[in-house]
Amino acid sequence: MTMKPSNNIWIRRQQCPCGDWKCYVKYEGDDQTSVSSQLIKNETTSTSSSSEAVFMPYVGQIFKTDEDAFEYYSNFARKNGFSIRKARSTESQNLGIYRRDFVCYRSGFNQPRKKANVEHPRDRKSVRCGCDAKLYLTKEIVNSVTQWYISQFSNVHNHELLEDDQVRLLPAYRKIQEADQERILLLSKAGFPVNRIVKVLELEKGVQPGQLPFIEKDVRNFVRTCKKSVQENDALLTEKRENDTLEFLEACKAMAERDADFVYDYTTDENSKVENISWSYADSVRAYTVFGDVVTFDTTYRSITYGLLLGVWFGIDNHGKPVFLGCALLQDESLNSFAWALQTFLRFMRGRCPQTVLTDIDSSLRDAIARELPDTKHVICSWHVHSKLSSWFMPSLGSQYEEFKAEFDMLCHLEGIEEFEHQWNHLVARFGLASDKHIALLFSYRTSWPLSYIRSYFLARSMTAEFYQSLDEFFKRILSGQTCLQLFFEQVWFAADLRNRSKEALQYMHTKTCLPIEENARSILTPYAFNALQHEIVQSMQYATTELANGSYLVRHYKKMEGEYLVIWISQDEQIHCSCKEFEHSGILCRHCLRVLTVKNYFEIPEKYILFRWRLESSLVALEDQNGQCNSDEYAQVFHSLAATLLTESLFTKERFNHVHRELTRLLEHVRNMPVSNEFASNMAANNISES
């Protein structure tokens, strides 16, 4: 088999951040992994189901072809703990091959070979022991139709038969499929030793160690056999990398000529070959001026074809959607490469540093951020932490893993640092993880990922599951189907271009309270931000306040006796601060502050507490139907008034109520069956938001 250097294959970074080169990460929620795992399960299921349908062969049994008979006997053999091989075949001038002999893999005896003239020849023991198990086929022609029947059969073995977990290791059943062959060659070319290649394949397919349909020896033999092919393709692959990189730079130059605001940079080694490349677009630089307060630097993927690490910068806009800010292709994961990426990104963004940067766990990246962004808060995204938990702890905890994960999730959301560290020690002791290297790794990064440590860091709601689903969709768009770097560059450009983003529909936002604060916020905030604030407004109505002597307030839930919050109110310049730090964390006022503002008879939220980044006016893409909100308000007022009158009139007697209920039910069914015009549907479909 020859390698196909035209394929550009992207994989998740699988080396564990613990530093142990033998340790790899299988990510939770990885579609590719789950699909591969499902394929393995399907293959296993189909194999087992087909073998269960195989009964013991018998003399006179008929098959259409000799290959059908061999497959049938092979399935029977695998189910019963042995394998078979093709022995003698007999042919005639008229019939061609008319007899096939299939025998047990231990049939016959090994014939001594002439030893090579070497000092220490290998003396291999033969597995053949004269086993007499066999199946002989004979061809016949009946009514001009060729068929094969079993003329002799014996199932008597003179050796022990193997168990299921042993029979799969027989050479006859150890197969490396073509897809796996290509993967093995690519990983081998990337410098992976054979034992690491096997580990990677196990992780990708979601199988336990030792459960691949082949063993390490098979991989080693395959790599050795294909070594010549790999060497022959090495020059082709090297040439492809150099040519594609040069084409990529030409594409950047052409883009810069078309768009003066497009920016890019690259570095070269001592041989003038490109090492690192980074670029950004005019829309991205403009978006950064509004949404550059919190950025995510995602380094999840790398290209094993080009040997490059992909790093993508994202912001989060006022609709909770990812905004592409920049991209980098790095030669490695070293401190210098990451430092160059950070320096270049800041230069693209005209020197303005973000308040917070979110990344995966990586010691080199952490050191680079500390050096290049000393005033920026560094946060390890909770999604990256949780995605590694099963790979880290499921093998050692087994059935206890789900319980461990539940307690770990609770631990992540504790608000106090002392409480976190106390519960952490309890968790480690309870599950016997004191010497676990991954627990030690997480604890060493504790100032960057648990809520108790980062609750005062501004994150702008960029650690929600919805946001990371959107990031995953972005990567699926740019990493699928490309065959070269230039096409990858074009796909990134298309995905990043704001003109290709769908316009955000201005949804009708129901009010859920009678508070003027809610009505005021609805006219200013995007639906995404308003929904978050509205949830806090609704919850604020369940809190009681106690004014302190200094003008501050203690705010407590009316049912919960523990968990009171201190809200500091400074009336001179309308400053309000809560001990929960929600505003500092998300840019949305918390329920405790909103409760105090209500007590203070505020009908509008102070201007400084409605951040520009969450306002309608900060949208990068024009909103659809700017008059839709007013129209929807008019419709809502009409229906509310009519419904209130109808309710009052229907409650006088039971007969009235039954009549109204019956007629409304009939009316609702009639309205649902009425056709809706496209124009009206587009304006109102998004407005039908549940208040649940």
Query: Same domain, yes or no, for 189 and 310?
Result: no
Query: Same domain, yes or no, for 631 and 611?
Result: no
Helix (H, G, I), strand (E, B) or coil at 303: strand
The reported pLDDT for the residue numbered 50 is: 43
> In this structure, is residue 6 part of a structural domain?
no
The reported pLDDT for the residue numbered 188 is: 80
Average pLDDT on 423-446 reads 95
Query: Same domain, yes or no, for 244 and 283?
Result: no
Residue position matching structure tokens 């702008």 = 460
Average pLDDT on 36-56 reads 47
Confidence of residue 375 (pLDDT cuts 50, 70, 90): very high
CA separation for the pair 405, 388 (Å, rounded): 11
Secondary structure element (H or E) that encloses residue 189, with its range? helix 178-189
Q: Kindly calculate the radius of gyration of the chain based on its CA atoms and give it in whole angstroms.
A: 34
Q: What is the phi/psi pair of residue 340, to 5°?
A: -60, -40
CA separation for the pair 637, 337 (Å, rounded): 59
Question: What percent of the chain lies above the pLDDT cut of 90?
Answer: 50
Res. 326: pLDDT tops 70: yes
Average pLDDT on 290-301 reads 95
The reported pLDDT for the residue numbered 378 is: 97
> In this structure, is residue 317 part of a structural domain?
yes
Q: Hey, what's the torsion of the CAs at 275, 276, 277, 278, to 10 degrees?
A: -170
CA separation for the pair 342, 123 (Å, rounded): 60
pLDDT digits (tens, 9 = 90+) for 344-365: 999 999 999 999 999 999 999 9
Q: What is the phi/psi pair of residue 686, to 5°?
A: -70, -15
Structure tokens of 34? 């789950």
Query: Same domain, yes or no, for 434 and 286?
Result: yes
* Top-confidence residue, 153 or 144: 153
The domain of 639 spans: 627-659
Task: Give the contacts of 409 (CB within 8 A, at least 6 positions apart).
Answer: 386
Helix axes 628-650, 654-672, angle to 10 degrees: 150
> In this structure, is residue 7 part of a structural domain?
no
> In this structure, is residue 19 part of a structural domain?
no
The reported pLDDT for the residue numbered 507 is: 63
Average pLDDT on 310-330 reads 95
> In this structure, is residue 622 part of a structural domain?
no
Average pLDDT on 385-390 reads 91
Res. 607: pLDDT tops 60: yes
- Asked if residue 386 lies in contact with residue 28, where contact means CB atoms within 8 angstroms, the answer is yes
For CA atoms 384, 385, 386, 387, give the dihedral sign.
positive
Domains in the chain: how many in total? 5
* Top-confidence residue, 307 or 472: 472
Res. 183: pLDDT tops 70: yes
Query: Same domain, yes or no, for 284 and 380?
Result: yes
Lowest mean pLDDT among 87-96, 119-128, 585-594, 631-640: 631-640
Res. 39: pLDDT tops 90: no
Res. 417: pLDDT tops 70: yes
Query: Same domain, yes or no, for 225 and 138?
Result: no
Average pLDDT on 379-385 reads 93
CA separation for the pair 674, 99 (Å, rounded): 74
**Residue 687: HSE in the Cβ half-sphere, 13 Å Cα cutoff:** 21
Average pLDDT on 259-285 reads 92
Q: Which of 98-112, 431-445, 669-683 is predicted most confidently?
A: 431-445
Lowest mean pLDDT among 148-157, 436-445, 661-670: 661-670
Lowest mean pLDDT among 186-190, 376-380, 439-443, 556-560: 186-190
Lowest mean pLDDT among 35-44, 80-89, 313-322, 677-686: 35-44
User: Which residue type, as a one-letter code, is found at position 109?
Assistant: F
- The residue among 465, 494, 523 that closes a domain is 494
The reported pLDDT for the residue numbered 126 is: 78
Confidence of residue 240 (pLDDT cuts 50, 70, 90): confident
Query: Same domain, yes or no, for 529 and 611?
Result: yes
Total number of residues shown for the chain: 692
> In this structure, is residue 117 part of a structural domain?
no
According to DSSP, the β-strands at 301-303 and 10-12 are: antiparallel
The reported pLDDT for the residue numbered 661 is: 86
The reported pLDDT for the residue numbered 59 is: 93
* Top-confidence residue, 428 or 25: 428
Confidence of residue 689 (pLDDT cuts 50, 70, 90): very low
Average pLDDT score, the chain = 84
pTM exceeds 0.85, yes or no: no
The reported pLDDT for the residue numbered 342 is: 97
Res. 295: pLDDT tops 70: yes
Query: Same domain, yes or no, for 451 and 522?
Result: no
Q: Hey, what's the torsion of the CAs at 266, 272, 274, 277, to 10 degrees?
A: 0
Query: Same domain, yes or no, for 388 and 486?
Result: yes
Res. 179: pLDDT tops 90: no
Counting beta carbons within 10 angstroms of the beta carbon of residue 221, is it exposed (0 to 12), middle (13 to 18) or buried (19 or more)?
middle
Confidence of residue 21 (pLDDT cuts 50, 70, 90): low
Res. 51: pLDDT tops 60: no
- Asked if residue 374 lies in contact with residue 310, where contact means CB atoms within 8 angstroms, the answer is no
Query: Same domain, yes or no, for 396 and 489?
Result: yes
Confidence of residue 299 (pLDDT cuts 50, 70, 90): very high
* Top-confidence residue, 13 or 524: 524
pLDDT digits (tens, 9 = 90+) for 134-147: 999 999 988 889 99
* Top-confidence residue, 539 or 304: 539
Query: Same domain, yes or no, for 355 and 308?
Result: yes
Query: Same domain, yes or no, for 334 and 374?
Result: yes
The reported pLDDT for the residue numbered 195 is: 86
The reported pLDDT for the residue numbered 688 is: 45
- The residue among 438, 461, 494 that closes a domain is 494
Confidence of residue 691 (pLDDT cuts 50, 70, 90): very low
> In this structure, is residue 183 part of a structural domain?
yes
Confidence of residue 327 (pLDDT cuts 50, 70, 90): very high
> In this structure, is residue 669 part of a structural domain?
no
Res. 301: pLDDT tops 50: yes
The reported pLDDT for the residue numbered 24 is: 66
The reported pLDDT for the residue numbered 458 is: 97
The reported pLDDT for the residue numbered 230 is: 56
> For residues 28-48, b (16+ Cβ closer than 10 Å) or e, as one string?
bebeebeebbeebeeeeeebe
